[in-house]
Amino acid sequence: MVKKRDYKKLLSKNLKNFEIYQSGASLPDTIKKFGLEIEDIIKIDANENVFIERSWMQEQLKKCLQKINLARYPDPLYIETRKSLAQYFGLDYNEIIVGNGSDDVFMTIFHTIIDNQSEVLVAEPTFSMYKFFTDILGAKYSYVLLNDDFTLDVKSLLSKVSKNTKLMIIASPNNPTGNTFETDKIKFLIENFEGIFILDEAYAAYSNVSLIDWIHKYNNLIVIRTFSKSLGLAGLRVGIMALNKELADILRPIQIPYSLNVVAQYLVPQLLKEKEYFQKKIEEVKKEREWLFSKLTEIKQLKVYPSNTNFILVKVLKDGLNANKVCEELIKSGIIIRDRSKVPLLSNCVRITVGTREINLNLLEQLKRILGD
């Protein structure tokens, strides 16, 4: 007989307020639940980039296969990778920390700076992982709502700062609202906050605005970039932070060694040589976003929010039909989008990743059917 154990007694005290993070859908789970085939599924719930051809990426991978030795650990300092990133972003390689997706570099910042007496300040609604990082360390998650037009309420944010507020995090463009915040407001926040200000630029490539070089002006600024959204590498897991060298030297030793795997270590410098290809793909996404925006706007039962990202936020206005039901109905025809209706300010909202024209036509047809348009 196996002895029964009460695992709750063993849990870290820090986890008492912990809420499970809901990531994008699991394909095998969705297939099983809805009796679908993998070919039937259109997954537009996690803001991945479906414009970069798989065959093109496989060719890039082939080009560096000779260098990759899976039996060896990656370079613990990732020097060549950081040098290529530094050149790409116009920085010094000592100003870059790389990691296993931007979630990983966020975790390094949290582990270094946050304890269970600390507060983290954000503007909601925003990327839900900031709460996850805060909660697992038992810190206080403090937030101010965006204004109704999704602009930043700078005064309220600064008035919320306490002596324990060590981090302020703003994503611009923001997920899930899709808008870019005014540069002047971000500047004001950085200049008037004594703690570390994290600017998450996960979607910056789609907005034409990046403040990454401000790390040379503000030594309390960390800028986060991910390769998951614009460079089509969500599965490889590559994220970076850009920050001044002095702060980088404090954070780097706290990161788990070998965070960037050997494949990413060689593939990233190879891909950064293909700037033109990526720029072309980013332009294609932006063009398709504008087309999808205009088509969604034609559906009367929807309110569509402008976007500077590769996704569009949409509010369902039809009486008797909520966002959750729309998502459920779409899944039955194999289309997975993200229900965001439980998020503050976003009642009845869903988030849709911009797909190819074929995907978008399919989505529009199903949406019209469900909404009776």
Ligand X SMILES: Cc1ncc(COP(=O)(O)O)c(C=O)c1O
- Span of 78-86, 87-95, 96-104, 250-258 interacting with ligand X by CB under 6 A: 96-104
Per-residue contact string for residues 286-325; x = within reach of ligand X by CB under 6 A? ----------------------------------------
Contact between 124 and ligand X per CB under 6 A: no
* Binding test (CB under 6 A) with ligand X, winner from 157, 186, 202, 359: 202
Per-residue contact string for residues 44-73; x = within reach of ligand X by CB under 6 A? ---x--------------------------
Report in angstroms the alpha-carbon separations of 238 from 85, 113, 132, 217, 225: 11, 22, 19, 26, 9
Contact between 127 and ligand X per CB under 6 A: yes
Cα dihedral sign for 106, 108, 110, 112? negative
Closest approach of ligand X to the CB of residue 349, in Å: 15
Q: Give 221's strand partners.
A: 197
What SS3 state is found at 365? helix
Q: For ligand X, give the closer residue by CB, 114 or 299.
A: 114
Q: How many CA atoms lie within 13 A of 332 on its CB side?
A: 9
* Distance between CA atoms of residues 284 and 27, nearest Å: 26
* Binding test (CB under 6 A) with ligand X, winner from 175, 230, 307, 366: 175
Closest approach of ligand X to the CB of residue 310, in Å: 10
Contact between 101 and ligand X per CB under 6 A: yes
Cα dihedral sign for 281, 314, 352, 45? positive
| The dihedral formed by the CA atoms of 33, 339, 342 and 178, expressed in degrees to the nearest 10 | 150
Contact between 178 and ligand X per CB under 6 A: no
Closest approach of ligand X to the CB of residue 99, in Å: 8
* Binding test (CB under 6 A) with ligand X, winner from 102, 134, 308, 360: 102
Cα dihedral sign for 257, 259, 263, 268? negative
Contact between 259 and ligand X per CB under 6 A: no
* Distance between CA atoms of residues 287 and 284, nearest Å: 5
Q: For ligand X, give the closer residue by CB, 165 or 172.
A: 172
- Span of 100-108, 241-249, 266-274, 316-324 interacting with ligand X by CB under 6 A: 100-108
Q: Which single residue is written with the structure tokens 């630029």? A: 201
Closest approach of ligand X to the CB of residue 101, in Å: 3
Q: For ligand X, give the closer residue by CB, 119 or 201.
A: 201
* Distance between CA atoms of residues 89 and 273, nearest Å: 12
Contact between 205 and ligand X per CB under 6 A: no
* Binding test (CB under 6 A) with ligand X, winner from 239, 269, 334, 355: 239
Contact between 103 and ligand X per CB under 6 A: yes
Q: For ligand X, give the closer residue by CB, 202 or 359.
A: 202
Q: 153 exposed, middle or buried (CB, 10 Å; 0-12, 13-18, 19+)?
A: middle
DSSP 254: G
* Distance between CA atoms of residues 82 and 93, nearest Å: 5
Q: For ligand X, give the closer residue by CB, 137 or 198.
A: 198
Cα 296 to its chain centre, rounded Å, is 23
Backbone angles phi, psi at 99, to 5 degrees: -160, 180
Two tokens, residue 109: 């910042």
- Span of 51-59, 101-109, 153-161, 331-339 interacting with ligand X by CB under 6 A: 101-109
| The dihedral formed by the CA atoms of 341, 44, 22 and 165, expressed in degrees to the nearest 10 | -80
Closest approach of ligand X to the CB of residue 370, in Å: 25
Q: For ligand X, give the closer residue by CB, 193 or 227.
A: 227
* Distance between CA atoms of residues 162 and 291, nearest Å: 44
Closest approach of ligand X to the CB of residue 4, in Å: 37
Contact between 171 and ligand X per CB under 6 A: yes
* Binding test (CB under 6 A) with ligand X, winner from 158, 234, 272, 371: 234
Q: How many residues bind ligand X (CB under 6 A)?
A: 13
Residues that bind ligand X (CB under 6 A): 47, 101-103, 127, 171, 175, 200, 202, 226, 228, 234, 239
